[in-house]
């Protein structure tokens, strides 16, 4: 085993398999099998195939030790001798030839970690027997025997390799070394690898811990789990043992180790969850199919400990309001006893007579809220009795209703949720409320409103356009009865939407959203219109002419006039027209004619005076030149605003 540099739990790696490779160390043949594997070159490792019938009979011939399957436990270094009685093969090169001990940290062939670096150098050699029948074949002449004495000290070229493993390695899932058999042709003997623990390994590994992302929830809910702050799942190095139990083939070693390295997970059949109601002996079996337990991984420098992740689903049969201790349990293939003295109850009967390694957390099956659904209200005509059944979801049985709001004469609820209204209720709106519950402990609240009266005809807002800077008088159509109409407004795309009485204003162009409400009266219920979009365009202010008189010379081309703008920005086209008498063409007779005198575009800020210079029209210019003795003319000044409406601005006397 190697002492390890511990990574943070966030970067720990995945499970590993046992992979065997014969190597030559100091002139001797040894076999190394790895449980916590590291990077592997394809040429350096061959996977050990699973076999249903072991090829060897194994026993402790001298000293301490106990054998259970492929686990040899409680051996004493320097004295325990293990006898291997193995089947021979019809092909001599595949007969068992050697047995040796190796560290379980790595069976890899890279520049930093090698098979040779992990192997001891003292193998035992097999001798054929013509009389022995103790091998699994049970036929004299088909058995070969080797006796391997556990070395008093483990020697490997890797300075950190050690057998037995260190306590830190034991805590992280590497609790054993390995003894394995190789053939005379340096090939591993399938099924002849054995995990070995020492009598000096007395200290129990640190127990694993588990954290749940949720400590309460509904039955059937799923939540994440992860490692707690102490301990690791210390059976996770035994993929070969687990694969043998499952009658499957172990995975090949990974290419790299690290946060995303490692490989293999504990088979879900070797994991269980058990939910025990606190203070009782009631146990509910759960599922661990969503749980992932990865294996150790070693890269020659760092031992990446196992990682717990995945999800657990709360059984659908949990009793609401009950707190459970939830146990995640892993079948224990190690020589250590369970970390939980009560594991047989907390986890259930062990698999194949094995105990469990477990960790636990608490989870409360939350009470479900009873949620009221439609109908939440009803309408009835005056003088008419009514009844409405309340509806709900989320209950776990029959729901009972209790009214907690002040009593309303003529309106009540039954224990089953039937709301009844008496015919004596006068027009108006009545509301009662309360709580509900079921035998499982689920609970909620309810409320119900009964409107007594006749529904109004549809109400709508009919004023839908306005101008920035000017108030818009809001109007409606429809509705019934004598109730007053009121308005509410919210900003749409416009800013500063404000309603005062029946007047609506906005400070920018865009839309306001208006809702009209007509109040109830003795016959009709209150009614509201749909939310209505009112559009505000660029505002047009009020333009006033401040120049009452203007002199116009016969050779004039420009007419200056002064205007005042109020209310909002004044935008549009201002024009002057007048009815004149005189000649309008050279040689023409004197006639009376209405002509355009001048026009100009205007964009004048609100609350300002401004001189606007009008360029005289050709017709008026001709009139001035042809009528030297003209008299005073009165010009009408009109503005045409941006919405195409026209309004008089004033009159100006045009003097000679």
pLDDT tens for residues 224-256? 999 998 888 876 655 666 666 777 766 665 666
- Kindly tell me if the per-residue pLDDT of 265 is higher than 80: no
* The total number of structural domains that make up the chain: 5
Using alpha carbons, select from 168, 173, 169 the residue that is nearest to residue 294: 173
**What is the model's pLDDT at position 37?**
39
The answer to whether residue 3 sits within a structural domain is: no
Mark which of 403, 427, 451 sits at the end of a domain.
451
* Contact between 298 and 50 (Cβ < 8 Å): no
- Going by DSSP bridges, is the β-strand pair 558-566/608-616 parallel, antiparallel, or unpaired? antiparallel
What is the C-alpha separation between 543 and 607, in angstroms, rounded?
Answer: 10
**613 found inside a domain:** yes
24 confidence band (pLDDT: 50, 70, 90) = very low
Asked if 557 contacts 625 with a C-beta cutoff of 8 angstroms, the reply is: no
Examine the domain organization and report whether 176 and 70 are in the same domain: yes
The answer to whether residue 247 sits within a structural domain is no
Selection from 276, 360, 349, 358 nearest residue 319 by Cα: 276
pLDDT of residue 321: 82
Residue 644 · residue 602 · CB < 8 Å: no
365, 396, 414 - which closes a domain: 365
pLDDT for the residue numbered 30: 43
Residue 615 lies in a domain: yes
Q: Provide the 3-class DSSP secondary structure of residue 625.
A: helix
- Model confidence over 367-403: pLDDT tens digits? 778 899 999 999 998 889 999 999 999 887 899 999 9
**Residue 23 pLDDT level (bands cut at 50, 70, 90):** very low
- Give residue-wise pLDDT tens across range 625-652: 888 887 788 888 888 876 667 888 899 9
The pLDDT score that the predictor gives to residue 155 is 80
Same domain, 224 and 303: yes
9-17 mean pLDDT: 30
CATH number of residue 409's parent domain: 2.60.40.10
Residue 560 and residue 633 in one domain? yes
Give the pTM.
0.54
- Render pLDDT for 608-631 as a digit per residue (tens, 0 to 9): 999 999 999 999 988 888 888 877
Arithmetic mean of pLDDT, 562-584: 88
* 467: helix, strand or coil: strand
For residues 360 and 434, membership in a common domain is answered with: no
- List pLDDT tens digits, range 323-344: 999 999 999 888 889 999 999 9
Rounded Cα distance between 177 and 569, Å, is 94
Q: What is the pLDDT of residues 275-320, one digit of tens each?
A: 999 999 889 999 999 998 887 777 767 777 788 899 999 999 998 8
> Are the C-beta atoms of 469 and 405 separated by less than 8 Å?
no
528/513 same-domain check: yes
Identify the DSSP state of 137.
T
Span 101-141, pLDDT tens digits:
887 765 322 223 345 566 676 789 999 999 999 999 999 99
- Residue 642 · residue 537 · CB < 8 Å: yes
**Is 168 in a helix, a strand, or coil?**
helix
% of the chain residues with pLDDT over 90: 46
**Is 149 in the same domain as 132?**
yes
Residue 482 and residue 400 share a domain: no
Structure tokens of 14? 């995945």
Measured distance CA(642)–CA(562) in Å, rounded? 21
Place of tokens 């954290």: 211
The answer to whether residue 205 sits within a structural domain is no
| Burial profile 326-350: b = 16 or more Cβ within 10 angstroms, e = fewer | bbbbbbbbbbbebbbeebeebbeee
Q: Classify residue 71: in a domain, yes or no.
A: yes
The pLDDT of residue 103: 78
Which domain-ending residue is among 365, 387, 413?
A: 365
Q: The domain spanning residue 522 has which CATH number?
A: 2.60.40
What pLDDT does 468 receive? 81
Say whether pLDDT at 78 is over 90: yes
Residue 187 confidence (pLDDT): 79
- CA 577/CA 645 separation, integer angstroms: 17
Assigned domain for 255 exists: no
**Do 380 and 312 share a structural domain?**
no
Q: Are residues 81 and 171 in the same domain?
A: yes
> How high is the pLDDT of residue 275?
97
pLDDT at 121: 62
Q: Do 477 and 559 share a domain, yes or no?
A: no
**532 lies in which domain range?**
459-537
Give a yes or no: residue 65 inside a domain. Answer: yes
Same domain (yes/no): 153, 176: yes
Same domain assignment for residues 227 and 361: yes
Collapsing DSSP to helix, strand or coil, 86 comes out as strand
């Amino acid at each position: 085993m190697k002492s390890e540099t511990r990574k943070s739990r966030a970067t720990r790696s995945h499970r590993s398999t046992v992979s065997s490779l014969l190597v030559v160390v100091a002139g001797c043949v040894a076999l190394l099998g790895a449980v916590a594997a590291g990077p592997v070159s394809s040429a350096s490792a061959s996977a050990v195939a699973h076999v249903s019938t072991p090829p060897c009979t194994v026993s402790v011939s001298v000293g301490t030790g106990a054998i259970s399957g492929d686990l040899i436990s409680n051996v004493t270094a320097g004295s325990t001798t293990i006898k291997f009685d193995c089947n021979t093969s019809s092909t001599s090169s595949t007969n068992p030839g050697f047995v040796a001990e190796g560290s379980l940290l790595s069976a890899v062939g890279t520049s930093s970690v090698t098979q040779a670096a992990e192997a001891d150098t003292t193998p035992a050699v097999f001798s054929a027997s013509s009389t022995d029948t103790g091998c699994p074949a049970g036929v004299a002449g088909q058995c070969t025997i080797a006796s391997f004495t556990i070395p008093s000290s483990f020697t490997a070229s890797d300075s950190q390799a050690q057998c037995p493993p260190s306590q830190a390695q034991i805590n992280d899932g590497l609790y054993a070394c390995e003894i394995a058999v190789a053939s005379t042709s340096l090939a591993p003997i399938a099924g002849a690898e054995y995990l070995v623990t020492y009598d000096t390994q007395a200290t129990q590994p640190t127990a694993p811990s588990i954290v749940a992302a949720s400590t309460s929830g509904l039955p059937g809910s799923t939540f994440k789990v992860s490692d707690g702050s102490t301990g690791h799942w210390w059976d996770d190095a035994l993929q070969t043992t687990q694969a043998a139990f499952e009658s499957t083939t172990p995975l090949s070693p990974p290419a790299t180790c690290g946060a995303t390295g490692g490989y293999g997970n504990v088979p879900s059949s070797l994991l269980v969850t058990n939910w025990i109601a606190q203070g009782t002996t009631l146990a509910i079996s759960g599922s661990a199919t969503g749980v992932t337990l990865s294996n150790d991984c070693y890269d020659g420098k760092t031992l990446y400990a196992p990682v717990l992740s995945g999800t657990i689903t709360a059984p659908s049969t949990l009793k609401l309001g009950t707190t459970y201790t939830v146990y995640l349990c892993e079948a224990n293939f190690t020589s250590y006893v369970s970390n939980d003295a009560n594991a047989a109850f907390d986890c259930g009967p062990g698999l194949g007579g094995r105990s469990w390694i477990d960790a636990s957390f608490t989870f409360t099956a939350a009470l479900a809220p009873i949620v009221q659904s439609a109908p939440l209200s009803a309408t009835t005509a005056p003088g008419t009795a009514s009844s409405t059944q309340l509806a709900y979801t989320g209950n776990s049985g029959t729901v009972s209703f209790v009214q907690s709001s002040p009593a309303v004469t003529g309106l009540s609820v039954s224990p089953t949720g039937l709301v009844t209204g008496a015919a004596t209720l006068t027009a108006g709106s009545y509301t009662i409320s309360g709580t509900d519950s079921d035998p499982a402990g689920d609970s909620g609240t309810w409320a119900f409103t009964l409107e007594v009266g006749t529904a109004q005809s549809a109400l709508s807002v009919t004023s839908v356009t306005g101008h920035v800077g000017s108030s818009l008088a809001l109007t409606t159509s429809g509705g019934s009865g004598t109730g007053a109409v009121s308005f509410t407004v919210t900003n749409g795309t416009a800013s500063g939407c404000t309603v005062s009485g029946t007047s609506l204003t906005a400070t920018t162009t865009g839309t306001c959203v208006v809702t009209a409400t007509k109040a109830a009266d003795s016959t009709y219920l209150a009614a509201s219109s749909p939310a209505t979009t009112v559009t505000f365009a660029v505002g047009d202010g009020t333009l006033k002419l401040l120049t009452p008189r203007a002199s116009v010379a016969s050779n004039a081309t420009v007419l200056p006039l002064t205007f005042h703008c109020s209310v909002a920005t004044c935008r549009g086209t201002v024009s002057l027209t007048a009815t004149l008498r005189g000649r309008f063409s050279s040689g023409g007779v004197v006639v009376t004619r209405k002509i355009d005198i001048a026009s100009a575009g205007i964009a004048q800020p609100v609350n300002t005076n401004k001189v606007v210079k009008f360029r005289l029209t050709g017709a008026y210019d001709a009139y001035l030149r042809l009528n030297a003795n003209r008299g005073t003319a009165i010009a009408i000044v009109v503005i045409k605003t941006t919405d195409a409406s026209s309004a008089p601005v004033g009159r100006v006397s045009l003097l000679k």
